[in-house]
Amino acid sequence: MPKIIRIGTRDSQLAMWQAKTVQQQLEHLGYETVILPVKSTGDLVLNKPLYEMGITGIFTKTLDVAMLNGDIDIAVHSLKDVPTTLPKGIVQGAVLKRGNTRDMLVFKNNEEFLSEKEAIIATGSLRRRAQWLNRYPTHKVVDLRGNVNLRLQKLDDNQDWNAAVFAAAGLGRLGIKPENSFNLDWMIPAPAQGAVMVAALEADETTKAILAEINDEHTQICTKIERDFLRILEGGCSAPIGAIAFVKDDEILFKGVLLSLDGSKRIDVTRTEKIGSHYNMAEFCANYIIERGGKRLMDEIKKHDKDIDVYATKSLSELQLQQFSNHLKIKCDDAIKISFNRLSPLVLKSTLKNVVITSQNAVESILNSVPAQELNFKNIYCVGRRTKKLIEQKIGPVKYSANNAKALADYMVEYLEGTEVTYFCSNIRLDELPQILTENNIKVNEIEAYQTKLDAAKIPNAVKGIMFFSPSTVESFIKQNKPAGTAFCIGETTAKEAKKYFTEVKIAKIPSVESVIELVNQHL
């Protein structure tokens, strides 16, 4: 054991704060120390998101090598940056008492963007990105890298950005508390967020004994559960995984989450155990996630950059994904993001003789604004079997439904009671209904019930088929991609839009997701 304990650390301001905290605790116990800062790959490469760099332990590898070479005796890390499996010969020597575990939003100007359809949020974390998009699906998330001060400067410099997400512990440790900021209590943090870990050589018994003196037992227990949960789920790939465990009244409370990369899919788990009965807690919670679609979700994440056969322009359920032929690789996400408008209760509660509803989103928007029992719709006309079912379940009887908007418009021209309709629609629509009604002297009062953002993913040109579920999904896809493969459409209106771009278009027998899947299996 050297006379002076050599403390290895990254040389960022935050890393130096952590190393000095370890130094103070060791010197308080009477040990002599010296801090030896080094640069890591993660600090040097700032032009790529972390998850694209493909290096395990990107912020810890340099220090691992230095310790194994005998250049330092211990290494200080943010525990959330440390791989769940340590290099051979290196062990966790201590975890300091944990700081603030939460994520913090730092925003510019005001918080009004949180209620708006469009906003730009910056973060380099897959986990933060996925949870933000899960809560605000129409927002845009951009990459943000660098140390804390550099990220704050980038936020200030980018005029189009509304806010950025930081670890509250990092800001607090640097004495930075932006006036325009608040904790995101709804966001589940990264496993071991807010914890500082000290690593040592497995063979160095003397140093390990010294580090045991500064170890915090509760923090060690909780972060081990979180990291074991991550290790069991992760399987070696980067994924949007959150986990937090804490001790309260001799019990450990745990929350975990796994999300898809775009935040559209989410699986949560909570668990409480007595201290002493917690040893299988991480395994139980990880298996709970896996058994409820987590395995399929992790497979999708691992295959994210691999070739795909079929791209679906809406998120599909676990049961729906299981219906595809085994040889097909499927990628799915919501090519359109929906945000409901606040509709006038005065209008909705008035007597509306003829109401036209062409989507389930319009139904949900109406019911988000006024309870069903306060609506006074006399005649309801709609498009689609599922829209009809939802209306009759939640609002009342449907006078007439059609498979597509044109067929509904043709019926209304002939049989409508009166010469005026109220049409609950989106800001984007490609159907012919308003035009046909207007041309036949029927007044159309349009109410924008929800807003649609075109947000399809960029996909490889070699894809064999695209699944479309509305004309808007076709428009969204074409904004980002060239037509490729076969277009599999849920109905005639969608197919009409697809035929503008695709040479081969197939239409499902009935307008349902399952029927489109059956169509894909038949042809691919």
Tens-binned pLDDT, residue by residue, of the chain (524 aa): 457 999 999 888 888 999 999 999 999 999 999 999 876 544 433 344 433 333 344 456 778 888 888 889 999 999 988 888 888 889 999 999 998 999 999 999 888 999 898 999 999 888 999 999 999 999 999 888 778 888 899 999 998 999 999 999 999 999 998 889 999 999 999 999 999 999 999 999 999 999 999 999 999 999 999 999 999 997 545 789 999 999 999 999 999 999 998 999 999 999 999 999 999 999 999 999 999 999 888 887 876 656 688 999 988 877 788 788 877 888 888 888 888 888 999 999 999 999 999 988 899 999 989 999 999 999 999 998 889 999 999 999 999 999 888 999 999 999 998 899 999 998 876 568 999 999 999 999 999 999 888 888 888 777 899 999 988 899 999 988 989 899 999 988 899 999 999 999 999 988 888 999 999 999 98
- For the chain, which residues make up each domain, given as ranges? 1-96+193-215, 103-183, 216-303, 307-335+455-523, 338-454
- Give the CA dihedral 400, 402, 408, 413, nearest 10 degrees: -50
Same fold across 103-183 and 338-454: no
What's 307-335+455-523's CATH class? alpha beta
CA atoms within 13 A on the CB side of 186: 8
- The CA distance from 469 to 490, in Å, is 5
Architecture category of domain 216-303 in CATH: 2-Layer Sandwich (3.30)
Structure confidence by residue, pLDDT tens digits, 27-40: 999 999 999 987 65
Q: Does domain 1-96+193-215 have CATH number 2.40.110.10?
A: no
Class of domain 103-183: alpha beta
Neighbours of 100 (CB within 10 A): 17
pTM score: 0.58
pLDDT digits (tens, 9 = 90+) for 135-150: 999 999 988 877 888 8
Task: Give which of 319, 314, 326 is closest to 457, Cα–Cα.
Answer: 314
Q: Which CATH architecture has domain 338-454?
A: 3-Layer(aba) Sandwich (3.40)
User: Which of 43, 64, 73, 81 is an active site residue?
Assistant: 81
81 as an active site residue: the answer is yes
pLDDT of residue 317: 77
Partner residues linked to 140 by β-bridges: 120
